[in-house]
Structure 1
Amino acid sequence: MSGTHAHSAAFVRGEMLPQKPAPASEAGALKWLRENLFSGPINTLMTLIGLYIVLHFGIEAAPWFLHSVWNAGSLSECRQIITETWGPDATGACWAVVKERWSQFIFGFYPWELIWRPVLTFALLFVALAPVLFSFVPRKLLAFSVVYPLLAIWLLWGGSPWVEIMIALGFVIGAVAYRVMEPRNTLVAALLAVILPLIFWGYISGPLDELFEQTIPLAITKVPSDAFGGFLLSVTLGVGGIALSLPLGIMLALGRQSDMLLVKALSVGFIEFIRGVPLVTLLFVASLLLNYFLPPGTNFDIILRVEILVTLFASAYIAEVIRGGLAALPRGQYEAADALGLEYWKAQRLIILPQALKISIPGIVSTFIGMFKDTTLVVFVGLFDPLKGITDIVRADFNWKGIYWEPYIFTGTIFFIFCFSMSRYSMYLERKLKRDHR
């Protein structure tokens, strides 16, 4: 009996075994390949087909890139260098056109002696965006983010800064009026925040602007809108459209869900009309028809007209994206806001909109990316976008006549960098705002 008990006794280890490495198939590159590229028959087949396509085009395009020429004064000189170096049947990219005309692709026809102004504006853009996009940046910089749009307009177009100062002063008057009246009556405060700036801009800012221009002249060299082009034009329209269309889209989304019939009807009508009309049509309206509705002799800048129509176009799509986010919220969130006794705007600002915007991040960023790429359509109204306008001008030069792929590849690469950066930031923001751990 004791012998049987001795043989059946469990063995208890008194020390821990050293940790062993995971099997090769369950760690590192092999695990990633197995899970992502060869997880099943269909996935394996698609991986092999994809590799074949990539290798085929890579082998075909490799000589063209490897035989690139960066130093030449014309396309014929590029071809001569390629022939002398790699033989008469060789082909190669002539990146010399990008090296020689890069300033036009980036700045259009902006005066070269004033090129420091768009460079400074672009550098300050990152300073203005930093506290908006990243929480670790000091919030005190938000004051500069508010001032930056008017500063950028003055730096890019030049002239007297008093026009921009008067615009800023109007917003300050509206903000002060809202802050003073908001504790007493929110509706009256909102009306005053709109009416008082309009009165100031319509009747007071003009004489004040003239007075300050005569007494304290601070003007810098003016640059006409015709000089804008390339990525300077695309970034100006894109950043302006993004900054303006988001708040307008939020208001349209809230208006579409409003219980007030007139507000809802106007919001729905605007959204459906804009979404049902091509952007090119709206650009032609901005270029040709808008002047017919203005007083004779009115000088309405073409870039400003295009900016307004691009903003309206993007805001209609953003409104629908945000409406989807609002509809995705559980009814309990609205009931919780009512239970806390919050009025409509406080409930939207503190509870509803933060959650709806979080849900809508992918759609909003997709709309922004599409709008930034659509800035190339301004070529149809006589502006020099980087893809078609500047490229056609470069190709019209006798020295570069016949060049084709290089300008488009260069322009497409820059667009990809901008759009890919926006996409990655949206993914970063989604991960940061994620609170559930499912």
Structure 2
Amino acid sequence: MANLDIAQVRTEEAPKLPAPVSTTGVIGWMRQNLFSSIGNTVLTVIGIYIAYSLIAPFIQFALIDAVWTGENREACLPKDGQHAGACWAYVKAYFPQFIYGRYPTEEVWRVNIVYFLFAALLIPLAMPSAPFKRTNALLFLVVFPIIAYFLLTGLVIGGNVILPVVETAQWGGLLVTLVIAVTGIVASLPLGIALALGRRSKMPIIKLVSVIFIEFWRGVPLITVLFMSSVMLPLFLPEGVTFDKLLRVLIGVTLFSAAYMAEVVRGGLQAIPKGQYEGAMALGLRFWPMMYLIILPQALKLVIPGIVNTFIGLFKDTTLVLIVGMFDLLGQIQSSFTDPTWSTPSQGHTGYLFAAIVFFVFCFGMSRYSIFMEHKLHTGHKR
């Protein structure tokens, strides 16, 4: 019987075959996340229908039927048989007021310098790999506010006008929004940390004062705080003593936000295991070195979402200053509706859409940066 070779020995590695198309790339992602079951498929179809029903009219209004150029309302009035689209020509005409308010046109360069310095210092400060962090933080937190104050308000030395004085009543638009939001964010975080530590203090007086402060400011709405700081506060001051209205608003917003920030930070402090405190004390660290070096870095890392959520809420709450006579971005847009030159059926929709886009850009940017920092600092729980 003849010998038959019934086995084959491979002398070289078999070529690697690509994964099936149905499991990789966009198709694989869709099969796994959108169409993995009958229920998910039905929900996906319903979601696509709802998204189309919302997005299609938005695109039609904001882009397809929009008017981009024009000198007055005539350009934005709907023609026969056409829908009224967004009047971006109106936004273009009012854009300087939306950004600077009633700030004198010849002095707008001062605001532009403040915007530039703010971005030039904030961007490298937000980059974890950027060098000279301490110098950058010192410039942003100490030097920049002083320069911005004199650039925006003016500078007079010995009767000599270096920079013409511009009253805060002439400020408006995005300038006021950013001044209130940035000041509130920068000032409320350290104050909130101090209040959170005070509320957990073992000293009764400090704990009582912190609790009363936090519960008082959390128990009243921000509108009441703004009314109190703008209308009622001057009644309690000595005769002849006045505070600038913007300064009063800044103080009220900062104290209000600090109370909420304190509770967010306190949650992070409570999440730290007791062993971290005991280990720090075993090393001979006193209270403040222990908090600065051991406890607070871990606590703040845990509550990054809550901190950023408070920041975003504060940024959006700046629109409430309109009720005390300050024209932020939204207030400036609303005041432009009284101009008959651009009075059209789509003027209000366009103005609010522009405000929504601006606020979304800032809030979404803060949200994405917080997610980036979470992943960057989440090293202790990686597997």
**Shorter-chain-normalised TM-score: which range?**
over 0.9
Return the offset for 1:400.
2.1
Query: In 1, are the aligned partners of 2:67 and 2:75 still within 8 Å (CA)?
Result: no
In structure 2, relative to structure 1, the CA distance for the partners of 1:121 and 1:62 (3 Å cut) is closer
Return the offset for 1:143.
3.4
**Distance (whole Å) between structure 2 residues aligned to residue 258 and residue 225 of structure 1:** 40
**Distance (whole Å) between structure 2 residues aligned to residue 304 and residue 13 of structure 1:** 82
Name the residue aligned to 1:103: 96
In structure 2, relative to structure 1, the CA distance for the partners of 1:42 and 1:156 (3 Å cut) is farther
Return the offset for 1:77.
3.2
Name the residue aligned to 1:141: 136
Q: Which amino acid aligns with 1:51?
A: I
Return the offset for 1:31.
1.7
In structure 2, relative to structure 1, the CA distance for the partners of 1:227 and 1:218 (3 Å cut) is closer
**Distance (whole Å) between structure 2 residues aligned to residue 341 and residue 13 of structure 1:** 67
**Deviations for 1:41-71, whole angstroms, at most 9, x for unmatched residues?**
3332222111111212333344433121122
Query: In 2, are the aligned partners of 1:105 and 1:390 still within 8 Å (CA)?
Result: yes
Query: In 2, are the aligned partners of 1:283 and 1:306 still within 8 Å (CA)?
Result: yes
Query: In 2, are the aligned partners of 1:63 and 1:91 still within 8 Å (CA)?
Result: no
Query: In 2, are the aligned partners of 1:131 and 1:142 still within 8 Å (CA)?
Result: no
1:302 aligns with 2:242: no
Compute the RMSD of aligned alpha carbons.
Answer: 2.0
Name the residue aligned to 2:150: 154
Return the offset for 1:153.
1.1
Name the residue aligned to 1:234: 177
Q: Identity rate of aligned residues, in percent?
A: 47
Q: Which amino acid aligns with 1:238?
A: A
Q: Which amino acid aligns with 1:144?
A: L
| 1:308-347 equivalent positions in 2, closer than 5 A | 308-347=251-290
- 3-state DSSP of counterpart to 2:95: helix
In structure 2, relative to structure 1, the CA distance for the partners of 1:156 and 1:40 (3 Å cut) is farther
- 3-state DSSP of counterpart to 1:240: helix
**Distance (whole Å) between structure 2 residues aligned to residue 214 and residue 130 of structure 1:** 37
**Deviations for 1:115-161, whole angstroms, at most 9, x for unmatched residues?**
1111110110122223432232221333322311111111111124x
Q: Which amino acid aligns with 2:116?
A: A
Name the residue aligned to 1:396: 338
The alignment's TM-score, normalised by the length of structure 1, stands at: 0.81
Match of 2:371 among 415, 427, 432: 427
**Distance (whole Å) between structure 2 residues aligned to residue 227 and residue 368 of structure 1:** 26
Return the offset for 1:327.
0.8
- 3-state DSSP of counterpart to 2:71: coil
Q: Stretches of 4+ moved more than 6 A in 1?
A: none
- 3-state DSSP of counterpart to 2:328: coil
**Distance (whole Å) between structure 1 residues aligned to residue 93 and residue 315 of structure 2:** 26
1:437 aligns with 2:382: yes
Q: Which has the higher contact order (CA 8 A, sep 6+)?
A: 2
Return the offset for 1:218.
6.7
Name the residue aligned to 2:44: 47
| 1:37-436 equivalent positions in 2, closer than 5 A | 37-64=34-61, 65-79=63-77, 82-83=78-79, 87-139=80-132, 140-145=135-140, 146-160=142-156, 213-214=157-158, 219-387=162-330, 389-402=331-344, 403-435=347-379, 436=381
**Distance (whole Å) between structure 2 residues aligned to residue 252 and residue 223 of structure 1:** 35
**Distance (whole Å) between structure 2 residues aligned to residue 60 and residue 142 of structure 1:** 45
In structure 2, relative to structure 1, the CA distance for the partners of 1:19 and 1:341 (3 Å cut) is same
Return the offset for 1:76.
3.3
**Distance (whole Å) between structure 1 residues aligned to residue 110 and residue 218 of structure 2:** 36
Return the offset for 1:299.
2.7
Q: Which amino acid aligns with 1:18?
A: P
In structure 2, relative to structure 1, the CA distance for the partners of 1:434 and 1:61 (3 Å cut) is closer
**Distance (whole Å) between structure 2 residues aligned to residue 241 and residue 328 of structure 1:** 26
Return the offset for 1:12.
5.4
Return the offset for 1:364.
0.2
Query: In 2, are the aligned partners of 1:321 and 1:363 still within 8 Å (CA)?
Result: yes
Give ranges in structure 1 of 5+ residues lacking alignment: 161-212
Q: Which amino acid aligns with 1:394?
A: S
**Distance (whole Å) between structure 1 residues aligned to residue 264 and residue 102 of structure 2:** 37
The alignment's TM-score, normalised by the length of structure 2, stands at: 0.93
Query: In 1, are the aligned partners of 2:101 and 2:171 still within 8 Å (CA)?
Result: yes
Q: Which amino acid aligns with 1:408?
A: Y
Name the residue aligned to 1:17: 14
Aligned residues: 374
- 3-state DSSP of counterpart to 2:270: helix
Return the offset for 1:220.
1.0
Return the offset for 1:250.
0.4
**Deviations for 1:361-388, whole angstroms, at most 9, x for unmatched residues?**
000000000000000000010000211x
**Distance (whole Å) between structure 1 residues aligned to residue 260 and residue 75 of structure 2:** 48
**Deviations for 1:378-425, whole angstroms, at most 9, x for unmatched residues?**
0010000211x2122211011123421000000110110000110111
Q: Which amino acid aligns with 1:157?
A: T
